[in-house]
Amino acid sequence: MMDDRPPALTRLGNILACPHCSFDKLETADHSLVCHRCGRAYPIREDKVFFCHDGGERPEERPAAANPATWSDWRKANFAFFEERLAVIHDGAFVLDIGIGPGHFRSLMSRFEHVGLDFEPYAGVRVVTDLADRLPFRDSTFDVVVASNVLEHLKRPEEALCECHRVLKPGGLILITVPFLLRVHQAPNDFYRYTHFILHELLVRAHFDRVTVQPLGPSSSVLKTMRDSFYEQLFEHAGGIRKLFVKILYNLSKIIGLFEKRLGRSLPLYDGYTPGYGAVGTA
């Protein structure tokens, strides 16, 4: 590798491997990383390496979505899960954040050597690649792999988990969150919903040990999501006085929902009826 690149890009280049042929020696040439074995060139723009398309313009980022005060209960539950699990990871650990998107949880990553990966060049992304392809990293590189709400968008999740295992150091951790009883999102690229049984099984098939899966979020959160979706549809198709009636019913349902949420605080989380799951496995 050449030495005249920015230090951050030099560090990144030292762990990359060609996703096409797996060769781990990529050299800089004409604003690209070039594989010495197969000759493929991967563009570099704004300290990001593109292993798929060149990205064009950055995707639109919504400032409001980065504000924790606006987060859904599901996103808050995700944050709490990762905060707890990452708290025991040593400072400076090498963390791969797969499907980072706008990076709503980047505040949790400030202690680590963090590599954000996605198929779009969001601000916090360092590596742009097709998440369904071989990960463009050398074997046994990372201490932790984080995948927040990613597996439901992958057509071959088992292969993706095997790739995560490959790039983790022996003893490294994978931290995953996936939705269960949540509405379809990012259509048409939302393919799966996982029970805790199959999530555990998929991680075991990918050769992870000490796998644990836990529910994230109370049943009352599922009720709220379903209620909001139901009344949203009613309101959209209602007309005249019926629209006013639907609005009154919805406001009453929100009041009932507040009591349901309060009552539900005394209940343990139930893995059979939850917004989603958090999972941990050891490589």
Q: Can you tell me the distance from the alpha carbon of 41 to that of 77, in angstroms, rounded to the nearest whole number?
A: 40
Q: Can you tell me the distance from the alpha carbon of 46 to that of 44, in angstroms, rounded to the nearest whole number?
A: 7
Of the pLDDT bands very low, low, confident and very high (cuts 50, 70, 90), residue 29 is: confident
pLDDT digits (tens, 9 = 90+) for 258-276: 999 898 888 899 989 999 9
Of the pLDDT bands very low, low, confident and very high (cuts 50, 70, 90), residue 3 is: very low
First to last CA, the chain: 29
Is the per-residue pLDDT at 58 higher than 80? no
Q: Can you tell me the distance from the alpha carbon of 211 to that of 231, in angstroms, rounded to the nearest whole number?
A: 39
Q: What is the DSSP letter of 178?
A: E
pLDDT of amino acid 212: 98
pLDDT digits (tens, 9 = 90+) for 149-185: 999 999 999 999 999 999 999 999 999 999 999 999 9
Which residue carries 């988990």 as its tokens? 161
Q: Can you tell me the distance from the alpha carbon of 111 to that of 130, in angstroms, rounded to the nearest whole number?
A: 27
Q: Can you tell me the distance from the alpha carbon of 61 to that of 202, in angstroms, rounded to the nearest whole number?
A: 32
Which segments of the chain are extended strands (E)?
Answer: 26-28, 32-35, 41-45, 48-50, 94-98, 113-118, 127-128, 142-148, 168-179, 209-216, 276-282
Mean pLDDT within 11-34: 86
Average pLDDT, the chain: 89
Is the per-residue pLDDT at 4 higher than 70? no
The share of the chain scoring above pLDDT 90, in percent, equals 67
- Model confidence pTM above 0.85: yes
The residue count of the chain comes to: 283
- The architecture CATH gives domain 63-218+270-282: 3-Layer(aba) Sandwich (3.40)
Mean pLDDT within 86-99: 95
